[in-house]
Structure formats: structure tokens, C-alpha cells
Amino acid sequence: MDIELQIKQAVILAIREFYNHEANEKSIQIQETRKDFEGDFTLVVFPFLKISKKPLEATANELGDYLQKNITNVVDFNVIKGFLNLSISKTYWLDFLNKNYGKENYGIVAENKNPEKVMVEFSSPNTNKPLHLGHIRNILLGDSVSRILAANGKKVYKVNLVNDRGIHICKSMLAWQKWGNGNTPKNTGEKGDKLVGDYYIRFDREYKKQVEELVASGTDEKLAKDKAPLLIEAREMLLKWEAGDEGIRQLWSTMNGWVYAGFDVSYKKMGITFDKIYYESDTYKLGKKLVLDGLEKSALIKKDDGSVWADLSKQGLDEKILLRADGTSVYMTQDVGTAHQRFSEFDIDKHIYVVGNEQNYHFQVLKLVLKKLGFEWAEAIYHLSYGMVELPSGKMKSREGTVVDADDLVDEMLHAAREISKEQGKLENFSEVEVEKILETISLGALKFFILKVDPKKSMTFIPEDSIDFNGNTGPFVQYSYARIQSVFRKANEKNVVIPKKLSPDCEFNTKELQLLKTNYAFGDIVKEAGENLSPALIANYVYELAREYNQFYHELPILVEEKKDKRELRLFLSEMTGRTIKSAMRLLGIDVPPAM
């Protein structure tokens, strides 16, 4: 049984016996002992003083005594202030090692027989411009969260909802019609999403020019923005699209096709896949029927002009429109529809939306509307909200060209990895194919780790130089530690050192070995907790700690030199455990594992 649980139960018994009192679980706090003190686990004694009616020292000693006598694995204790530090026997830790040694995926739960089904929606790009750094944060979070959920035994569906319709697409289409000269990705060699994005920018430029001209000729600015000829044309195009105009539809699907080809390249570069891709052009009419049903049940209200609203004033919000006066639907209506469709189609138990925090209000409302409509799964939707990615120079603005393009960024990371490796002569003994593979692994690992280590809900600053740095709290450092561990085994093998299947019971630890062991011990809990909090950052920061412990440890303790046999075996054991834990953690983050360099 888990030692922490064992201690907890013993404490309950002790309190019942000594003080004739039923302690509630929550008052019993057991934590890992801080490094500077002796012991493995610490019981906080303060909460029991009122019950024991005895001085601090006496209470702590009494409890410590009881635990030592009643739990075989508690071999010693000491009391410092209100903290009871318990030392756990070496046998317990050895058992832990021996038990988990054979597990290839230590800390990861296999898929249950009857798993909870979770859908994760992420990426969700518009088809009028290429992916940028903001999308990268979204994509990496979505991918990583999916992996963490899967590692907790859930069945995960990764889905993408492409926003392929609307006025913004029409702007790109119109600009291409006017100034495109028949350019295609094929005849220009340009990536499709970039090509289309260029025309979106072109539209904006020409549109601004028109607005300026109108203002110069005396038109009110607000009016000018609304009445610029280009915008009117784009609106007309959208109407035609909605009416199913064949020519427009043709152009639309051609240009979107270019964009998808471009996106595929970007996703592939990042190693991202989806189980299903939804298109808004297929789903934008969904939800209308559900809203009308809700109206019938009087869950919603109809105004004089015929528009339909949800009244959320009781929940502290205002009213939200769901159907316009002309009966057409809005974004919210659509989301109600797609959610309903997904819950019935996939029979999912939970739906996670990875969407930026600018939509916090939207998802708050969505949940309330679903509840109003009477769907019992309304509580099962979760908005994984994340903050913006800013640059040292400030915010990214796509129209002002200050965005960091996703492909460019990945390429730059690769370039930096190449330069640094060349400079240090790290990859001299590898073939060209191997070198390319390693560089890709490292540069992508650096990017992913840099993004994921930050708490999702916080906005973050992306510093290009720091992201490319391979020292310190970075992906390459974690990969490096793993590679070193692999190297230990390779060298051991060369020297015919056999790694035993089981450690002998008289194997001794020193403090550093114990530290590393305890860090490994925590991994399973971290995975579980990260799943509950939907936080890859937790894993990232943890695995960095582990890699650091490892590096400090092995720096001082050569393994393969002459020393007592069981000591050597213990270290090989620890290496392998640590290696597996690091590898598992990297996989949860979506970071590739490098070979032993």
C-alpha cells in the first residue's frame, strides 16, 4: 500500500486512541520532507494541538512514537517545531524500485476497459492567413493535454474546427481576383496559406487607402469605414457565397484547398495530427432547431422584431442573442449546435475547448445557454483558456505584420540548433540523415518546452533568443539528460556490466540517491494531477527538476569506475528509472526523445 495513505490511516487511529477524537482526513497533512531536514515524509502537527490539549513537543513525540511502532516502514522520526519528520525504511524504497523497474511506461495508466471519452478541440484556424505563434501555443497545449488525458486512461478524440467561411475569406478572395494575376501555389512556388494570407493583407492595405481617400474628401471616418467600396464588394461576395453562387463557391474551395495544403505542412512539421476535422461551412447552420425548441419550452425569449434571446440576468450576465430577426444564426447558436452534435455523435463524457482567453465570456455564456436548454452535459464542457503570446516589443498584430509566423519560427529554431551543434562539434560522428533527425528533434523540443512550461492561463512573453537557448530550463537540457542516461547504459554494456533484474535488500542509499528516488516516486501523482488541472506546465517544470537532480547526482558519482558491486547496480537501476520517467514526461509534452548522442 501507498506509504502516505498508510501513515494517514495510522494517524487517524492514533488520534482516536490517544485523544478520543475522530480526525477528518483534511486535517492530516502529509508532505515530502524538505531537503534540509532529515526524513522522507512530514506530518504537520499543528492542527492536532487543540484536540490533544498537550504541548507541541509532547503531541508530536507521542504521534511519532505511535507511527514508528505501528508502521513497519517508519523506522525513525524527529520533531522540529510543529513538524514531525518520518524516516522511511530503505526496504520500502527498494521495493518501490524493484516493483516499478520493469515498467516501460512508468507512471502512465493504460487505457481503461470502459474509458471516459474526452474530446479536445484545438488549433481552430481561419483560412485567410497562415498559422502564427499564438496558434502554436494553442496547438501545443491541445496536443499535450490530449496526451496527458490519454496517459490517465481516457479515450481522447482530437478535433479541429476550421473557420473556412465568412467575410474574412471573402476579403482574400476578392483581393486575389483583383490583383492575383492568376498566381497559384503551383506557379509561384509559394506555400498556399501564405499566398492567401498575402492577399488578405493586400485587401486591408487597399481598403485602408480607400477609407483615407473618403475621409480626405470629407466623409465621416466611421461612415467611411463602413462604406468603402471594397468592403461593400466583399459583403456582396459573402451574400453570393451564402446563396451558393457557383463561381464564388468554386473560387472559395480552390483557395481553401491551397490553405489546407499549407496547414498540412505546418502540422506535419510540428508532429500534430487530428482524429477529425470539422469545417464551419458544414456546421454554421446547426443549432437553430435547438434554439427553436428552447423557445417552445419557454427557456428562451422572443422579442418584438422576432429575434431570439437568452436572458442570463439571473446569472449576473446580460441578454445574449441566439437568432437574428431574419432567423439566421450567430456564433453562439452554432456552438450550441456543434456541441450537441458532438456529444451525440461520439457519446463523449467531456469536451475540452482550447481557445484563447479573449473568449472567456463566450464560453461562460455557452455553458449557461446549454444549461437553460436543458442539456445535462452542459457541465461537461470545459474551456481551457490560455493567455496571449506577446513579444518583447509588445503585442503581435497580424495586420501590422508584427506576427511571428509558425513556419518561420520552426525553421529558425532548426537553424539555431544547427549553428550551436556545429560550433560545439556535438554531431560529428553521425551520418547526414541522423544529424537532420537529431536537429529536428532538438529544435522542436526547445520550442515545445519553451511554450509549455508556462502556466496556460498566464499571458507569456516570447523572447526569441531565450527560446533558442539550450541551457538551463529548456527542452534540450531535458533531452540532454535523457541522452546522458542512455549513454550510461551503452557504456555499461561495453564494459559488460550486467544490469540486474532485482536489487538485493542490503543495498544502501546515500542522501543524493534517495533524493533522486523520491523525485522519481512523485511522477505518477504529477501525471494525474496534471490531467486534472489540464496543465502540461506542471509536467514540464517537474521533468526539468528531475533532469537537474540527475545531472547534479551523476556529475559527482561516477558509475563505471571500480566500486562495490551493489552500489553500482543501484545506480544503474536509478538511471534507468529516471530515464524512463524523463522519457514518459517528454512524451506527454509531445517532445521527441533524442538518441544517445
Partner RNA sequence: GGUCCAGUAGCUCAGUUGGAUAGAGCAACAGCCUUCUAAGCUGUAGGUCCCAGGUUCGAAUCCUGGCUGGAUCACCA
Per-residue contact string for residues 553-572; x = within reach of RNA by CB under 7 A: -xxxxxxxx-----------
| Selection from 322, 317, 332 nearest residue 294 by Cα | 322
Contact with RNA (CB under 7 A): which of 471, 496, 501, 511? 471
Binder of RNA out of 166, 271, 500, 524 (CB under 7 A): 166
**How many residues make contact with RNA (CB under 7 A)?**
99
Range 389-418, binding RNA (CB under 7 A): 395, 417
Q: Are 43 and 84 in contact (CB under 8 A)?
A: yes
Q: Residue 104's Cα: distance from chain center in Å? A: 23
Query: C-beta of 218: minimal distance to RNA in Å?
Result: 26
Cα–Cα distances in angstroms (integers) from residue 2 to residues 5, 8, 384, 513, in the given order: 5, 10, 32, 20
Burial of 43 (0-12, 13-18, 19+ CB in 10 A): buried
Three-class secondary structure of residue 592 per DSSP: coil
Q: Residue 188 Cβ, how far from RNA at the closest point, in Å?
A: 28
- Residue 474, φ and ψ in degrees, nearest 5: -135, 165
* Entry field: residues in the chain: 597
Q: Among 95, 459, 514, 593, which residue interacts with RNA (rule: CB under 7 A)? A: 459
Q: Does 453 bind RNA (CB under 7 A)?
A: yes
- How far from the centroid of its chain's Cα atoms is residue 457's Cα? 11
Alpha helices in 217-330 (DSSP H): 221-227, 229-242, 246-270, 280-283, 288-296
> Taking CB under 7 A as the rule, does residue 330 contact RNA?
yes
Q: Which of 12, 75, 299, 321 touches RNA (CB under 7 A)?
A: 321
Query: How far apart are alpha carbons 306 and 441 in whole angstroms?
Result: 57
Q: Which of residues 246-275 bind RNA (CB under 7 A)?
A: none
Strand partners, 120: 158, 352
Minimum separation from the CB atom of position 231 to RNA (A): 13
Give bridge partners of residue 32 from the DSSP assignment.
41
Among 175, 186, 188, 294, CA closest to 231 = 175
Q: Which one, 179 or 361, has the nearer CB to RNA? A: 361
Q: From the CB of 395, what's the least distance to RNA, in Å? A: 7
Site for RNA in 98-137 (CB under 7 A): 126
Exactly one of 299, 388, 391, 499 binds RNA (CB under 7 A); which one? Answer: 388
Q: Is 597 in the site for RNA (CB under 7 A)?
A: yes
State which of positions 515-554 bind RNA (CB under 7 A).
522, 529, 532-533, 537-538, 541, 544, 548, 551-552, 554
Contact at 8 Å (CB) between 148 and 536? Answer: yes
Non-local (6+) Cβ contacts of 127 within 8 A are: 162, 163, 164, 169, 193, 196, 255, 256, 259, 260
Q: Indicate the residue among 179 and 463 with the shorter CB distance to RNA.
A: 463
Contact between 473 and RNA per CB under 7 A: yes
Residues in 60-89 that interact with RNA by CB under 7 A: 80-83, 85
Q: How far apart are CA 57 and CA 352, in angstroms?
A: 49
- Which of 384, 427, 516, 585 touches RNA by CB under 7 A? 427
Minimum distance of RNA from residue 530's CB (angstroms): 10
Whichever of 219 and 385 has its CB closer to RNA, that residue is 385
Site for RNA contains 285 (CB under 7 A): no
- CA distances 444 to 55, 182, 534, 540, Å, are 57, 36, 22, 15
The torsion angles phi and psi of 172, rounded to 5 degrees, stand at -60, -45
| Least Å from the CB of residue 306 to RNA | 9
CB of 216 to RNA, least distance (A): 25
What residues numbered 477-516 form the site for RNA, per CB under 7 A?
477, 480, 483-484, 486-488, 491
Q: Which CB, 266 or 333, lies closer to RNA? A: 333
Beta carbon nearer to RNA, 104 or 305: 305
**Other C-beta atoms within 10 Å of 175: how many?**
23
Q: How far is CA 183 from CA 180, 188, 191, 326, 568, in A?
A: 6, 6, 12, 39, 66
Specify burial of residue 408 (Cβ count, 10 A radius: 0-12, 13-18, 19+): middle
Span 23-62, contacts to RNA by CB under 7 A: 29, 31-34, 36-37, 39, 42, 44, 46-47, 50
Among 284, 449, 523, 573, binds RNA (CB under 7 A): 284
User: Which range, of 147-155, 219-227, 267-275, 360-368, touches RNA by CB under 7 A?
Assistant: 360-368
Nearer to RNA, 180 or 453 (CB): 453
**Residues in region 290-309 near RNA by CB under 7 A:** 303, 305, 307
Cβ proximity of 590 and 147 under 8 Å: yes
Q: Which is nearer to RNA, 185 or 353 (CB)?
A: 353
Q: At its nearest, how many Å lie between RNA and the CB of residue 222?
A: 13
Closest separation in Å from C-beta 393 to RNA: 12
Shortest Å distance, C-beta 412 to RNA: 15
Q: Does 200 bind RNA (CB under 7 A)?
A: no
